[in-house]
Amino acid sequence: MERTKFTGKHSREKPSTSASASTCRKALITGITGQDGSYLAELLLSKGYKVHGLIRRSSTFNTERIDHIYVDPHDSEAKLFLHYGDMTDSGQLTNLIYNVKPDEIYHLAAQSHVRVSFDMPEFTGDITGIGTTRLLEAIRRSGIKTRFYQASSSEMFGDSPAPQNEETPFKPQSPYGAAKVYAYWMARNYREGYGMFAVNGILFNHESPRRGETFVTRKTTRALARIKFGLQDKLYLGNLEAKRDWGYAPDYVEAMWLMLQQKEPDDFVIATGETHSVKEFVNLAFAHAGIEIEWKGKSKSEKGIIRSLTSNLQPLPSNMKVGDCLIEIDPRYFRPLDVEFLQGDASKAKKKLKWEPKVRFKEMVKIMVDSDIKDLEEMKQCQDVIRKLSDNKSRQ
C-alpha cells in the first residue's frame, strides 16, 4: 500500500461553506451512534455529503440515534453507509479509510464517561487515547489525503483557572482527561510532523435529548419524567456543586464542520461562556415540570425536598406531596478527583469560524425535560391502546 507523501499543503485550498460546494463530498464518522455522531450525520447529509459511519458489533441494537436517517443501502437514494469496526482494530481502520477515501474524518468514538474512566483507566487510555493514534496512522498508511477532526474536551483543562481558552494549560483530573490530552497532542504532532489537516475541537459539555442516560443532565431529566409518571421515587446524584459550561449538541456539531472548512488547520474552543452548577440544572429542570425544590442538610446528607407543586405537572402522581424528598446524594457518584469549574472562552471560534451558540442554558434544559416527558407520555398512550385492545379481545 502506498504511503502518503504529505507536503504540508492541504487538499482543499479554499474554504467551502455552501451546501452546493459540499455536494458528493464523503465523510467518515467514528462514534456515529453516539449523541454527537447522530447530529453530525444529520448535518452532513443535509449538506449533500455521503456519510460513512463506523459502528461496533453489539448483541443488541445500538443504532437507535441514527435509525431515522438510515436507508437500505440497496436503495439508489442511500447516502448513509455503516461499517463494522472498533477503535482497537488498526487493520480494519486502515482498510476502511483506504476503501472509502473520505474527504473528511470526524473522530468522535471514545469511552466518553469520566466517572467510568476511573473504574477502567487502562481501557479508557486504549480507546480514547491510543484509538486516535490508530486512526491517524491508518490515514498516513492508507495514503489518503483527508481532513481530520479530533474530539478534544474541556475535561483536559481540569483545574486550570477559568475562563479556559486555546492557550490555557491542560491539567487533567481524570484518566479520561489524560487520554484526551494524549490524543490532542497526537493530532497536533501529525499536523506539524506530516502536514496533515488535523484539528482539535476543544468542546465544553454539550447536551440534548440524545445525551447518554448516565451523564448528569440526561440522568436528571429522565428521572424527573419517570418521577412524574410514578415510575421512580427518587433521583440519586453525586457532586451537586460542580459547575459546567453546558451548550446544546446540535450547535456544537456545526462548529466541528466549520473547523474542517477552514483554509488552515487550527484548534478551537467551543463553549457558551455561561457556567451553572449541577444543583442549578436540577432546580431548573424540576421547576419547568412544576416541582419547586428546596435543599436541606449538608454534604452527603443534603436532600432535595418538594417546596411547592404547580399545575405544570398535572396529572400528579396521586401520592406526591409538598415535603417529599425526591433527590438524595449517593457517594457512589463521587469521583476520586472532580473538575469543579469549567467556563469556556470561545472568542477565537466567534472571530474565525463566525460560530456562536444559538440555544442557551435555560432553553436547553426545557428542551430536554419536555422531550423525556413526551417520550413517556407516548409510551403510556401506547400502553393504554394495547390495554383497551386486549380488554376488547377478552370480551369477545
> Which active-site residues does the annotation give?
153, 155, 176
Which region, judged by CB under 6 A, interacts with ligand G4F, from 23-31, 41-49, 182-190, 209-217? 209-217
Which residues partner with 8 through β-bridges?
A: none
Residue in 22, 26, 27, 33 binding ligand NAP, rule: CB under 6 A:
33
278 binds, among ligand G4F, ligand NAP, none (CB under 5 to 8 A by kind): ligand G4F
Q: What are the residues facing 105 on neighbouring strands? A: 28, 148
Rule CB under 6 A: is residue 109 a binding residue for ligand NAP? Answer: yes
Residues in contact with ligand G4F, shown as a per-residue x/- string from 166 to 205 under the rule CB under 6 A:
--------------------------------------xx
333 binds, among ligand NAP, ligand G4F, none (CB under 5 to 8 A by kind): ligand G4F
| 191 close to 10: Cβ distance less than 8 angstroms | no
Among 28, 31, 220, 268, binds ligand NAP (CB under 6 A): 31
Number of residues that bind ligand G4F (CB under 6 A): 21
DSSP track, 117-184: HHHSHHHHIIIIIIHHHHHHHHHHHHT---EEEEEEEGGGGTTSPSSB-TTSPP---SHHHHHHHHHH
Instruction: Rule CB under 6 A: choose which of 48, 121, 195, 238 binds ligand G4F.
Output: 238
Residue 364 binds ligand NAP (CB under 6 A) = no
- Residue 176: count other Cβ atoms within 10 Å of its Cβ: 27
What's the rounded Cα separation, in Å, for the pair 149 and 17?
A: 17
Question: Should residue 255 be labelled a site residue for ligand G4F when binding is judged by CB under 6 A?
Answer: no
Distance CA 358, CA 116 (A): 31
Q: Would you say the C-alpha torsion 120, 176, 333, 30 has a positive or negative sign?
A: negative
Give the three cell numbers for residue 370.
419536555
Q: Report the residue from 12, 101, 145, 219 that binds ligand G4F according to the rule CB under 6 A.
A: 219
* Cβ distance to ligand G4F smaller for residue 96 or 278: 278
Q: Is the dihedral of CA 40, 42, 48, 52 positive or negative?
A: positive
Instruction: Say whether residue 154 binds ligand G4F (CB under 6 A).
Output: yes
Contact 261, 345 (CB under 8 A): no
By a kind-dependent CB cut-off of 5 to 8 A, residue 194 interacts, out of ligand NAP, ligand G4F, none, with: none
Shortest distance, position 235 Cβ to ligand NAP, whole Å: 20
**Cα(221)–Cα(285) distance, rounded to whole angstroms?**
7
Nearest to 18 by CA among 39, 40, 48, 45: 48
CB nearer to ligand G4F: give 335 or 350: 335
CA distances from 149 to 99, 189, 201 (A): 19, 14, 7
- Contact string 189-208 vs ligand NAP (x = CB under 6 A): --------------x-xx--
Whose Cβ is closer to ligand NAP: residue 151's or residue 240's? 151
Sign of the torsion angle spanned by Cα atoms 185, 187, 190, 191: negative
Binding site for ligand G4F (CB under 6 A): 112, 114-115, 153-155, 204-205, 214-216, 219, 237-239, 242, 244, 278, 333, 335, 338
Binding site for ligand NAP (CB under 6 A): 30-31, 33-37, 54, 56, 58, 62, 86-88, 108-112, 127, 151, 153, 203, 205-206, 212
